[in-house]
C-alpha cells in the first residue's frame, strides 16, 4: 500500500462524503427527492431538475457491464506497468453509469462480456483512499 | 446552387511551413507560420485582421505572439471540433458587424512539445476516471467502440474499421504532406499491435506537430481577393457530455443534431454532398459519425463504407487528405478538415483532386465524442 504509485482521486467538497463512504467499503450515490433521479457523479444540485433537495443513498453494488477496453499500452508513464488492465463502464442497478476497473477476472475476450452481471469490490490503495471497483457477480 | 444563403466565405487556408515531426518549432511558432500562410493565401495582410479565433489557449496568448490586436475574439475550446465551430462564430460576427476579416489559427507540438499539455486537476475526470487509468482518448473511444460492436456485430464492425484505416491511407499516399504514405494492407491493419482493445495501433490517429489557419470574411470582400470564395452555407454545433460515462449513447454522437441542422441551413441533402470530411481521431470516430450525421442509419455504417467505397476511385470520397489517421494530427485536428475541403472545392489538390466538387460537409469531433461542429461549404 505504501508503494502505490498510480494517480489518486482529487477529492472536491461535494464528493468528500462519497470517498469517506468508499473507505468504509460502501458505494453511495446522490438521489434527487424531487424528480427521483439517482445520479453519478455527486453534485449538490440535481443536474436533471436543478432542485437542491437531494439526498445520499447507498447503492446495492450490483451492476452490469456496459462497455470496456482491455488496455494494452499504459496511457501515461504511471500506468505503463499496470497493463493489461480493464477499463470499464458499468450500469448500476440504481440507474447511473460509472467508470471503473473490472478486477478478479481473466483478462481476455472470452471472460469479459458486455451485459455480464457485476458486483462492487473495494480496493484500499492508501490509508486515505479506497477505490470502488467491480468484479463478476458471485 | 439553389436555396443557398451565402453568409460569409472562407478566403484563405494554410498549414504551417512544415507539418509532421517538427521539434525545432514551438506550438505558437506553428500558429504563426500558419497564420502568415493563410493570410497570404487570401491576398490579405496582417493589418486586415480584426477578428481572431483560436482554441487551447486564451486568445490573447496567441494573438500577442502573432502581433495581432483584434476587436473581436473567441477562444471557444471544445477539443478538435473547436475550429469547425469557430467558422460559424466568425460568420455570425462578420454578419453582426463585430469584425470584417476573421483569422482562425491552430498550432500544436503534439509530438515534440517540451512540456505536457494538461487539464485542470479539479475537474471530475481527475476523481472518477484518472485513478482507474481511464486517461486519454484511445481508452475512452475504445470503450465506446466496444459497445458499438456489442450492438451491431463484432466481425462486421472490425472489418469496417479496417476499411476506414486502409482507404484513408490510400488518400494519404496521394498527399505529399501526409506523414504516413506507405501502403497499408488489411493484414497489416489486423496484425498491428493492440493499444486499447478493440483498437489496434492502426485504428488510432497520428500524433504530430502541425499548425493550420483559416481566414473568413464577408461575401462582398471575398469577391475581390486572391482565391475563389468558398461559401459557408450551413453550420451547427452541439455537445452533450464531457466524460465518456456521461455520454447518453456510446454509439451516437452530437452529430445527430449538428449534421441535419447544418444541411437544413444550407438547403441541401446528404445526397448533394460531393466530399465528406469527418474527424478521424480513430477509425471508430468515422464509423459512428457517419451514422450520427445521418448518411446512413444506426448499425448501417459497415455496409455503407464496404469494399473501399471511400477510397480514391470509390464512389463516396471521404477524408481525401489522408486524415488524422495518416496525414497529420497534432491533437486538435479539426482545422485541417477545413483546409482540405476548401482546397478540394477550389481544385487545388493535385493527384487527389476530385472531379469538380461543389459541396463539402465537414464534421469536427472534440473531447471524448463530446462535441461536434458541422459545416457545409460550397462554391459557385
Residue B203 to residue B200: CA distance in whole angstroms: 5
Nearest Cβ partner of B127 from A6, A9, A115? A9
Distance from CA of A88 to the nearest CA of B (A): 7
Inter-residue contact B41 to B215 (CB < 8 Å): yes
Q: With contacts defined as CB-CB under 8 Å, which chain A residues touch B127?
A: 9-12, 15, 41
Of A10-19, B1-10, B306-315, give the lowest mean pLDDT range: B1-10
Inter-residue contact B83 to B334 (CB < 8 Å): yes
Inter-residue contact B88 to B53 (CB < 8 Å): no
Residue A2 has pLDDT above 70, yes or no: no
Q: What is the pLDDT of residue B6?
A: 59
Interval B28-67: pLDDT, tens = 999 999 999 999 999 999 999 999 999 999 999 999 999 9
Instruction: Give residue B5's pLDDT band: very low, low, confident or very high (50, 70, 90).
Output: low
Nearest Cβ partner of B121 from A10, A79, A98? A10
Distance from CA of B299 to the nearest CA of A (A): 17
Q: Do B196 and A88 touch (CB under 8 A)?
A: no
Q: What is the pLDDT of residue A102?
A: 98
Q: What are phi and psi of B230, to 5 degrees?
A: -110, 115
Report yes or no for ipTM above 0.90.
yes
| Neighbour tally for B338: CB within 10 Å | 28
- Mean pLDDT taken over chain B: 96
Domain boundaries, chain A: 14-136
- Out of B72, B141, B284, B327, the active site residue is B327
Is the Cα dihedral B257, B259, B265, B267 positive or negative? negative
Interval B132-155: pLDDT, tens = 999 999 999 999 999 999 999 999
Active-site residue, B231 included: no
Residues 6+ apart with CB under 8 A from B35: B46, B66, B68, B103, B105, B213
Query: What's the average model confidence in pLDDT over B66-80?
Result: 97
- Domains identified in chain B and CATH numbers: 9-116+204-378 (3.40.47.10)
Nearest Cβ partner of A7 from B131, B195, B250? B131
Instruction: Give residue B1's pLDDT band: very low, low, confident or very high (50, 70, 90).
Output: very low
Interval B78-112: pLDDT, tens = 999 999 999 999 999 999 999 999 999 999 999 99
Residue A9 has pLDDT above 60, yes or no: yes
Q: Which of B37, B21, B132, B26 is nearest to A71 (CA)?
A: B132
- Out of B57, B148, B231, B279, the active site residue is B279
| Neighbour tally for A16: CB within 10 Å | 11
From B130, which residue of chain A is nearest by alpha-carbon distance?
A7
Q: Is B125 on the interface with A (CB under 8 A)?
A: no
Q: Is A100 on the interface with B (CB under 8 A)?
A: yes
Residue B4 has pLDDT above 50, yes or no: no
The model's pTM is 0.97
Residue B117 has pLDDT above 90, yes or no: no
Q: Is A97 on the interface with B (CB under 8 A)?
A: yes
Interval B281-300: pLDDT, tens = 999 999 999 999 999 999 99
Amino acid at each position: 500500500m505504501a508503494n502505490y504509485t498510480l494517480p489518486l482521486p482529487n477529492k472536491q467538497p461535494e464528493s468528500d462524503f462519497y470517498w469517506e463512504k468508499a473507505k468504509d467499503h460502501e458505494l453511495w450515490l446522490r438521489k434527487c427527492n424531487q424528480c427521483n433521479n439517482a445520479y453519478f457523479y455527486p453534485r449538490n444540485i440535481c443536474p436533471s431538475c436543478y432542485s437542491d433537495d437531494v439526498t445520499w443513498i447507498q447503492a446495492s453494488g450490483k451492476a452490469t457491464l456496459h462497455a470496456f477496453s482491455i488496455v494494452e499500452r499504459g496511457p501515461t508513464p504511471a500506468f505503463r506497468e499496470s497493463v493489461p488492465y480493464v477499463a470499464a463502464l458499468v450500469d448500476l442497478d440504481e440507474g447511473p453509469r460509472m467508470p471503473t476497473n473490472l478486477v478478479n477476472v481473466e483478462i481476455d475476450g472470452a471472460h469479459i462480456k458486455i451485459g455480464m452481471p457485476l458486483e462492487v469490490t473495494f480496493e484500499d490503495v492508501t490509508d486515505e483512499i479506497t477505490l470502488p471497483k467491480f468484479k463478476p457477480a458471485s | 446552387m439553389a436555396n443557398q444563403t451565402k453568409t460569409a466565405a472562407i478566403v484563405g487556408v494554410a498549414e504551417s511551413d512544415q507539418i509532421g515531426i517538427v521539434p525545432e518549432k514551438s506550438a505558437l511558432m506553428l500558429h504563426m507560420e500558419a497564420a502568415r500562410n493563410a493570410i497570404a493565401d487570401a491576398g490579405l495582410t496582417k493589418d486586415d485582421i480584426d477578428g481572431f479565433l483560436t482554441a487551447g489557449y486564451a486568445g490573447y496568448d496567441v494573438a500577442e505572439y502573432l502581433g495581432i490586436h483584434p476587436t473581436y475574439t473567441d477562444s471557444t475550446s471544445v477539443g478538435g471540433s473547436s475550429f469547425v465551430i469557430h467558422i460559424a462564430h466568425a460568420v455570425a460576427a462578420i454578419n453582426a458587424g463585430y469584425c470584417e476579416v476573421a483569422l482562425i489559427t491552430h498550432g500544436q507540438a503534439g509530438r515534440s512539445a517540451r512540456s505536457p499539455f494538461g487539464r485542470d486537476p479539479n475537474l471530475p475526470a481527475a476523481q472518477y476516471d484518472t485513478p482507474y487509468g481511464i486517461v486519454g482518448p484511445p481508452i475512452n473511444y475504445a470503450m465506446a467502440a466496444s459497445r458499438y460492436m456489442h450492438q451491431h456485430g463484432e466481425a462486421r464492425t472490425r472489418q469496417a474499421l479496417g476499411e476506414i484505416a486502409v482507404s484513408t491511407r490510400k488518400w494519404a499516399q496521394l498527399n505529399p504532406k501526409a506523414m504516413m504514405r506507405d501502403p497499408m494492407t488489411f493484414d497489416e491493419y489486423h496484425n498491428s499491435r493492440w493499444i486499447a482493445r478493440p483498437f489496434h495501433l492502426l485504428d488510432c490517429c497520428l500524433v504530430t506537430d502541425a499548425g493550420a489557419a483559416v481566414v473568413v470574411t464577408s461575401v462582398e470582400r471575398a469577391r475581390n481577393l486572391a482565391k475563389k470564395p468558398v461559401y459557408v452555407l450551413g453550420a451547427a454545433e452541439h455537445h452533450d457530455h464531457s466524460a465518456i460515462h456521461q455520454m447518453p449513447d456510446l454509439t451516437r454522437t452530437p452529430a445527430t443534431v449538428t449534421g441535419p441542422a447544418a444541411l437544413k441551413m444550407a438547403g441541401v441533402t446528404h445526397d448533394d454532398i460531393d466530399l465528406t470530411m469527418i474527424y478521424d481521431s480513430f477509425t471508430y470516430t468515422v464509423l459512428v459519425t457517419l451514422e450520427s450525421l445521418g448518411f446512413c442509419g444506426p448499425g448501417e455504417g459497415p455496409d455503407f463504407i464496404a469494399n473501399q467505397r471511400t477510397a480514391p476511385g470509390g464512389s463516396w470520397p471521404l477524408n481525401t487528405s489522408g486524415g488524422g489517421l495518416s496525414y497529420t494530427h497534432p491533437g486538435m485536428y479539426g482545422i485541417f478538415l477545413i483546409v482540405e475541403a476548401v482546397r478540394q472545392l477550389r481544385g487545388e489538390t493535385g493527384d487527389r483532386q476530385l472531379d469538380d466538387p461543389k459541396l463539402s460537409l465537414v464534421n469536427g469531433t472534440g473531447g471524448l465524442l463530446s462535441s461536434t461542429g458541422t459545416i457545409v461549404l460550397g462554391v459557385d
